[in-house]
């Protein structure tokens, strides 16, 4: 009997750890608010260099990737020593666009406007159902690619068309990013 109880408790622990971004409780209202810009290249209005807002946002997201590439996944993490998917979106949007997103995927999914997958633009949040109650979030870059904190590869770029992500895709949201 004791072994069965231990296995049951271990199973609950495994589900909680693997829950990732979707398991972080939070008691705030889902909203994105302006925040002071932190270090790093931020999106700027067209400076006459011919770059569109999407191009400026894309460049800023790739710069974020260059700084955070291979940072390991750590549930609840917000730093270069480890970060989870919603934490990475929280840090990225604050540092790059001066926006404070809620800390959890469960609240981030309520931000902005729904976007059809065929209409994705750079900077759109992409959400995935990775289990019965588990959720994952990343940010769309371009050409079927999105930036996120993967549980297996850390901060990385993946393709929406990869079998796993294609099957898990749930929805996308567009925030008002003012470069």
Q: Give me the phi and psi of 70, to 5 degrees please.
A: 70, 10
Let me know if residue 179 belongs to a domain: no
In a domain, 62, yes or no: yes
- pTM listed for this prediction: 0.77
Residue 110 is among the residues annotated as catalytic for this protein: no
Beta bridge partners of 145: 142, 159
Parallel, antiparallel or unpaired: strands 78-79 and 82-83 = antiparallel
**How many domains are contained in the chain?**
1
Does 44 fall in a domain?
yes
DSSP 8-state code for residue 71: P
- In 3D space, the residue among 83, 36, 98, 92 whose CA is nearest the CA of residue 64 turns out to be 92
| 124: nearest Cα among 132, 116, 133 | 116
Taking only the tens of pLDDT, the chain with its 179 residues reads 455 444 444 443 333 334 446 444 444 444 554 443 333 444 444 445 556 799 999 999 999 999 999 999 999 999 999 999 999 999 999 999 999 999 999 999 999 999 999 999 999 999 999 999 999 999 999 999 999 999 999 999 999 999 999 999 999 999 998 76
CATH number at residue 23: 3.90.1720.10
| Contact call for residues 151 and 87 (beta carbons, < 8 A) | no
Give the sign of the dihedral formed by CA 107, CA 110, CA 113, CA 114. Answer: positive
Active site residue 90: no
pLDDT score, position 50: 55
21 in catalytic set: no
| Choice among 21, 85, 90, 110 that is catalytic | 85
Residue 103: strand pairing partners: none
Contact 158, 165 (CB under 8 A): yes
Please pick, among 21, 90, 110, 148, the residue that the annotation labels catalytic.
148
Q: Give me the domain span that covers residue 155.
A: 2-174
């Amino acid at each position: 009997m004791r072994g069965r109880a231990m296995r049951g408790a271990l199973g609950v622990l495994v589900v909680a750890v693997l829950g990732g971004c979707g398991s972080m409780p939070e008691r705030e209202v889902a909203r994105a608010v302006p925040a002071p810009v932190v270090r790093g290249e931020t999106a700027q209005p067209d400076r006459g260099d011919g770059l569109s807002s999407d191009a400026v946002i894309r460049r800023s997201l790739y710069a974020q990737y260059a700084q955070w590439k291979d940072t390991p996944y750590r549930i609840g993490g917000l730093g270069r020593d480890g970060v989870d998917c919603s934490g990475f979106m929280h840090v990225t949007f604050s540092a790059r666009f001066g926006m404070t997103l809620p800390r959890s995927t469960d609240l981030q999914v309520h931000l902005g406007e729904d976007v059809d997958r065929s209409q994705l633009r750079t900077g759109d949040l992409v959400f995935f159902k990775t289990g019965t109650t588990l959720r994952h979030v990343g940010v769309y870059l371009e050409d079927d690619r999105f930036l996120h904190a993967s549980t297996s590869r850390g901060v990385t770029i993946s393709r929406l068309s990869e079998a796993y992500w294609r099957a898990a895709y749930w929805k996308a949201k567009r925030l008002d990013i003012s470069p």
